[in-house]
Amino acid sequence: MLLFSKIFIPKYTKKVKKVKVLICGKGGSGKSSISSLLAKDLLARGYRVLVVDTDESNYGLSTQLGMEDPKPLMDKVGGKGAILNMQLTAYNAGQPIIVLDESWTIDEIPSECVTKKGNLYLMQIGKVHHFEEGCACPMGGLAKDFVCQLDLAPTDVAIIDTEAGTEHLARGVATGVDVVLMVLDPSYESLRLSEKTCAMAGEASKTVYFILNKINDKHAVKMINQLGKTRVIAQIPFDPAIQENGLSGEELNEKVSGIENITEFVIQCSREKQQD
């Protein structure tokens, strides 16, 4: 398998019958917590689940899943500097900026870049480590290409947990996904961000569905009025047990009400794709 080297145009148009779910939202809204809980619920229903950590800063996801951090894919494919050079060369030559050029199944991901627990797989694109390290464009490019090229079986689901805000949408990571889910905590900032997220995802012809997190009934009514009833697929209450886990850095194993609605939505999307 060719990891990267030249500039290729990937076969993004290949018809695939599988489900890749992007989880986005503002920082602290609960993206990683929900990614973990969704992954475990899908797992319990017989799916093989790959969680892709594309957050360049935070390390919470592996803890919430109760898994070791794998080697970042970025390190495996030559490191940040090499990818940045490649991107600049392509940009200066007016060519498409492609980092990965071949499709990958879950089993083809280099073993050191995956942590595995039963049918649950975790991988990380890459993290920023140093002061004045520079931009995270190489991670963005790698994340986009990896997700686009990921070749899943019908009973596989990929959950792509993202950095806060709209950074990943700006870098086109949504290009290769089938479902965009935005996690909103009860805040004005989340509501404002939802407008921008919908507009940006719309440019990639994706519809955004919403998960209200840390919510109570009163706030839910207010937010649903603004977001629209049909687009809100789940409401997750504020749960002191999740907060406690977040503080102690323990694996999330709670049974959390509302997660099953997200799982069923994803399974429904997967079935619709099978019938396409």
Ligand X SMILES: Nc1ncnc2c1ncn2[C@@H]1O[C@H](COP(=O)(O)OP(=O)(O)O)[C@@H](O)[C@H]1O
236 binds, among ligand X, Mg ion, none (CB under 5 to 8 A by kind): ligand X
Residue from 189, 238, 254, 260 in contact with ligand X (CB under 6 A): 238
User: Per-residue contact track with ligand X, 37 to 66, x per CB under 6 A?
Assistant: -----------------------x------
> In this structure, are strands 179-184 and 208-215 parallel, antiparallel, or unpaired?
parallel
Residue from 11, 12, 14, 27 in contact with ligand X (CB under 6 A): 27
* Residue nearest ligand X by beta-carbon distance: 246
Q: Is 54 in the site for Mg ion (CB under 5 A)?
A: no
Number of residues that bind ligand X (CB under 6 A): 19
Q: Is 32 in the site for Mg ion (CB under 5 A)?
A: yes
Q: Which is nearer to ligand X, 94 or 240 (CB)?
A: 240
Q: Which is nearer to ligand X, 78 or 165 (CB)?
A: 165
Q: Is 165 in the site for ligand X (CB under 6 A)?
A: no
DSSP helix/strand/coil, 48: strand
Q: How many CA atoms lie within 13 A of 193 on its CB side?
A: 21
Number of residues that bind Mg ion (CB under 5 A): 3
DSSP helix/strand/coil, 181: strand
Q: Which is nearer to Mg ion, 58 or 261 (CB)?
A: 58
Cα 147 from Cα 171, distance rounded (Å):
12
Stretch that binds Mg ion, among 32-40, 131-139, 145-153, 263-271 (CB under 5 A): 32-40
- Helix ranges, 48-166 (H): 60-65, 73-76, 80-92, 137-149
Q: Is 95 in the site for ligand X (CB under 6 A)?
A: no
- Strand arrangement of the beta sheet that strand 120-124 belongs to: 115-117, 120-124, 48-53, 156-161, 19-25, 179-184, 208-215, 232-237
Stretch that binds ligand X, among 39-47, 105-113, 243-251, 263-271 (CB under 6 A): 243-251
Cα 61 from Cα 83, distance rounded (Å):
25
Distances (CA, A) of 215 to 135, 163, 258: 34, 22, 11
Residue from 22, 33, 54, 139 in contact with ligand X (CB under 6 A): 33
Burial 241-253, CB ≥16 within 10 A → b, else e:
ebeebbeeeeebe
**What one-letter code names the amino acid at 30?**
G
**Cβ at position 221, least distance to ligand X in Å:** 18
Q: Is 30 in the site for ligand X (CB under 6 A)?
A: yes
Site residues for Mg ion per CB under 5 A: 31-32, 58
Site residues for ligand X per CB under 6 A: 25, 27-33, 60, 164, 213-214, 236, 238-239, 242-243, 245-246
